[in-house]
Amino acid sequence: MKTIFHKASERGHANFGWLDSHHSFSFGQYHNPAKVHFGALRVLNDDIITGGSGFGAHPHDNMEIVSIPLAGALEHKDSTGTKEVIRQGDVQIMSAGTGLQHSEYNHYSDKTTNFLQVWVIPKKRNIDPRYDQKTFNAEARKNTFQIVVAPDNESAVWINQDAWFSLSDIQGGKKITYKVKKEGNGVYVFLLEGTVTINDQVLKKRDALGISEVQDFDIEASADAQLLLIDVPMSLS
């Protein structure tokens, strides 16, 4: 097993007033040559948007962009004509493909919205842009792994990559085993809440551990924990 530990307090940080963002990987004005990507995982931003604010229309191409609200709600609009609101419990994906423009605004004027913005390098370039979102029942992730993004699972949102996103809520004192979805993939474990131990490494809130060159690994929670696991190809060829 090969691991890389990313401590929460060592993430990049940008605060623009309307947006308070922490970057697990190089993004915007934050550049760390040791944190450019983890395999096909290119961006993991932990964003807090003030009421009534948001990202105006801006372009993307050839990137898989996943948004996971942790609190509050986002209003989404894009150049395909899609207009949606995503809330806690929802997962949204855009395959930017040949190119699109989109905006994301806090749905509320009087409270903040916190969401994860995740970018994955696509498997195929220049596909037609597409959008999808689904709602997931949190009860289905208790002491197990709920797949919310996948290339091969109709209950998840589809992604243009051999990548799987799973959410898990683990009770304190429980241990569960994660099995890597595809040979050659690695898993980026991002701890949303609680405390867990993986391969003798203790993770606390917003810490992350990149794991590769292994088929499975155990996660033991010493306190109730919520996790996002991103299973991605380690080779970009």
CATH tag, 12-135: 2.60.120.10
Task: Work out the angle at residue 95's Cα, subtended by the Cα atoms of residues 233 and 67, and round it to the nearest 5 degrees.
Answer: 85
On whether the CB atoms of residues 122 and 64 are closer than 8 A, the answer is: yes
Whose CA is closest to 196, among 210, 176, 211, 167? Answer: 176
* Residue 56 three-state SS: strand
| Location of each CATH 2.60.120.10 domain in the chain | 12-135, 138-233
208-214-220-223 Cα dihedral, nearest 10 degrees: 10
Tallying the residues shown for the chain, one arrives at 237
Q: What is the pLDDT of residues 203-232, one digit of tens each?
A: 999 999 999 999 999 999 999 999 999 999
| pLDDT tier at 4, thresholds 50, 70, 90 | very high
Furthest CA-CA distance within the chain: 48
Which tens digits make up the pLDDT trace of 155-184?
999 999 999 999 999 999 999 999 999 999
Check: CB of residue 71 under 8 Å from CB of residue 116: no
CATH tag, 138-233: 2.60.120.10
- Burial class from Cβ neighbours inside 10 Å (0-12, 13-18, 19+) for residue 81 reads exposed
